């Protein structure tokens, strides 16, 4: 089905195509026609962060920023769904056009800028949905909030979403909010994560259940920066790391007419770098902190390679745009096959 629809969707600009697709998924789900679009994979239970996932392939943040389409997305067979990035106050994001497809590279460049309806709107949407699966909520700061006050934005979001999330992701790695990635610097990150960890434990006691907190990092960090981040994460007791966000390095798409557009690059050109960062963090953290691999997963072998590089779970986004919903099952089945092929000691 998606192979037929994709050429039509690609005639629309990227944001319009996104709205049309999400509307169509909602109609299909409410009409009980979702099986025409995708066949959910057989369960492949995976336990990470103390959470039981039906399968290890999830949706990355960014596709459903406001948590408006949880029921429709659930029908596709994801093992978990991450919504956001959400900020305390609504914001329109950057000027349009701000999302560009590069089909010859199976890539996307976006400079959306955390466009979302604000944390209260997201919470209402989550409460009104029928989704009871694993839900990650990705939190950020408003554009106008200076970095020295950023932690207040994250604390507000953490507090508001805590009871509704299975886990919370702290996003300080988007390239589309000016200065945001500066929060990844070692001394700043140590103070920042320590404050959020204190709040996490306090909220866990308050709600009677501790929810894991993850950090999403950039793919453009130098080795010495990754060393410092690994040290901070180990010392502060973070629950998990998502490797990685989009890249500001557009050298792989320099030959494309839109390759020089400002913004974060995702899709196939990101795969090699994001997987290298994933493998590097796995080595540094020595299995003490679970990892989610995301970036450039376009087929099942890409997902399996993320797992082989040290990921416990995999997320997709751009691959969904280029390959359609059947990519979910393809990834689950390839990870399943890889794990079944691993010889058991004994």
Note the Cα 209 to chain centre separation in Å.
23
Which of these CATH numbers, 3.90.110.10, 3.20.20.70, 3.30.2350.10, 3.40.50.1700, describes 2-339? 3.20.20.70
Greatest mean pLDDT range, 128-137, 170-179, 181-190: 128-137
Phi, psi for 147 (deg, rounded to 5): -55, -35
What's the rounded Cα separation, in Å, for the pair 273 and 282?
A: 14
More confident residue, 231 or 14: 231
Q: What are phi and psi of 316, to 5 degrees?
A: -130, 155
The pLDDT of residue 256: 94
Which has the higher per-residue pLDDT, 343 or 316? 316
At residue 5 the predicted structure's pLDDT band, cuts being 50, 70 and 90, is: confident
* pLDDT score recorded for residue 35: 62
Which of the four pLDDT bands, split at 50, 70 and 90, describes residue 160? very high
The domain locations on the chain are 2-339
Separation between Cα atoms, residue 68 and residue 195, nearest integer Å:
30
**Range in 4-8, 49-53, 90-94, 228-232 the model is least confident about:** 4-8
Active-site residue, from 173, 174, 266, 312: 174
Q: Are 298 and 271 in contact (CB under 8 A)?
A: yes
Give the residue carrying structure tokens 């010859």.
104
The pLDDT score that the predictor gives to residue 52 is: 97
**pLDDT value of residue 13:** 83
Per-residue tokens: 251: 């050298």
174 flagged as catalytic: yes
pLDDT of residue 344: 53
Cα end-to-end distance, the chain, whole Å: 46
SS3 category, 87: coil
Per-residue pLDDT band for 346 (boundaries 50, 70, 90) equals very low
What local confidence, expressed as pLDDT, does residue 345 receive? Answer: 45
């Amino acid at each position: 089905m998606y192979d037929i629809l994709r050429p039509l969707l690609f005639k629309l600009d990227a944001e319009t195509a996104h709205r049309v697709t999400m509307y169509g998924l909602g109609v299909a789900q409410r009409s009980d026609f979702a099986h025409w679009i995708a066949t959910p994979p057989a369960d492949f239970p995976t336990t990470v962060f103390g959470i039981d996932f039906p399968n290890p392939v999830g949706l990355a943040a960014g596709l459903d920023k406001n948590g408006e389409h949880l029921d429709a997305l659930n029908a596709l067979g994801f093992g978990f769904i991450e919504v956001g990035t959400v900020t305390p106050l609504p914001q329109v994001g950057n000027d349009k056009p701000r999302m560009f497809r590069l089909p010859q590279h199976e890539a996307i460049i976006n400079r959306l800028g955390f466009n979302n309806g604000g944390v209260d709107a997201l919470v209402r949407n989550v409460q009104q949905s029928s989704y009871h699966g694993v839900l990650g909520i990705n939190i950020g700061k408003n554009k106008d909030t200076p970095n020295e006050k950023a932690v207040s934005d994250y604390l507000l979001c953490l507090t508001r979403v805590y009871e509704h999330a299975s886990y919370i992701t702290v996003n300080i790695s988007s390239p589309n909010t000016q200065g945001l990635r500066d929060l990844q610097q070692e001394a700043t990150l140590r103070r920042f994560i320590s404050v959020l960890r204190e709040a996490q434990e306090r909220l866990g006691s308050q709600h009677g259940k501790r929810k894991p907190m993850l950090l999403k990092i950039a793919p453009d960090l130098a080795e010495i920066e990754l060393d410092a981040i690994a040290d901070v994460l180990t010392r502060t007791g973070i629950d998990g790391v998502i490797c990685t966000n989009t890249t500001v390095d557009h050298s792989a798409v320099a030959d494309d007419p839109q390759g020089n557009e400002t913004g974060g690059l995702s899709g196939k050109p990101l795969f090699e770098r994001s997987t290298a960062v994933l493998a590097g963090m796995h080595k540094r953290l020595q299995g003490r902190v679970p990892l989610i691999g995301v970036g450039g997963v376009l087929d099942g072998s890409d997902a399996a390679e993320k797992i082989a590089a040290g990921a416990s779970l995999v997320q997709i986004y751009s691959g969904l745009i280029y390959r359609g919903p059947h990519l979910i099952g393809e990834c689950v089945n390839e990870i399943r096959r890889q794990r079944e092929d691993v010889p058991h000691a004994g």
